[in-house]
Copies of this chain bind each other. A is one copy, B any other.
């Protein structure tokens, strides 16, 4: 008995991104009820050199699709980051969930020791599959979902930890 690479990735990523989508529904409802400028909310950030709420959602999606594509061994789908509305961000999340859902456990299981190499400019970082999933991708997805949540909370959107955790 143990945890498979699939169990530790796909259902967790779908859960977190699904919760993020439902959090954005509450953000939209807040914008509508208070007649706020949605663009101001989407472009808000917690400090001038941090990423905006929009980028937080995009990076959460990028990290999720990236880890699954790398583990499976397929090309990472490219998104143009053109989203400028909450609705478009929600569509980005749905598209990411659909991509992740497209893989079967057999395509991901057994990738614990798979070599994963990320490149940032000239710098290469080497991981094993498990290390990349548990030590890089999952904490990163949770980071960007939480930061989206924090930007929305800071702007008065009425959400709580239950919205972040969803149904585990």
> Which A residues are closer than 8 A to B by beta carbons?
1-5, 7-8, 12, 15-16, 46-47, 50, 109-110, 112-113, 127, 130-132, 134-136, 138-140, 142-143, 146-147, 149-150, 153-154, 156, 161, 164-165, 168
Cβ A3 vs Cβ B168 within 8 A: no
Q: Given A15-B135, A142-B139, A46–B153 Cβ distance below 8 Å? A: yes
Chain B residues with Cβ under 8 A from A161's Cβ?
140, 143
Cβ B143 vs Cβ A12 within 8 A: no
Chain B residues with Cβ under 8 A from A2's Cβ?
2-5, 109, 112
Query: Chain copies in the assembly?
Result: 2
Candidates B127, B130, B156, B168; contact of A131 at CB < 8 Å: B168
Candidates B12, B113, B134, B164; contact of A7 at CB < 8 Å: B134
Most buried by B among A12, A112, A135, A164: A135
A interface secondary structure, majority:
helix
Cβ A1 vs Cβ B113 within 8 A: yes
Candidates B112, B149, B150; contact of A3 at CB < 8 Å: B112
Beyond A2-B3, A139-B142, 16 additional pairs, beta carbon < 8 A: A1-B113, A2-B4, A3-B8, A7-B134, A46-B150, A47-B154, A47-B156, A132-B168, A134-B168, A135-B168, A136-B168, A139-B164, A142-B146, A143-B146, A146-B146, A150-B150
Report how far A154 CA is from B131 CA in the complex, Å.
30
Cβ A143 vs Cβ B168 within 8 A: no
Chain B residues with Cβ under 8 A from A12's Cβ?
134-135
Most buried by B among A1, A15, A112: A1
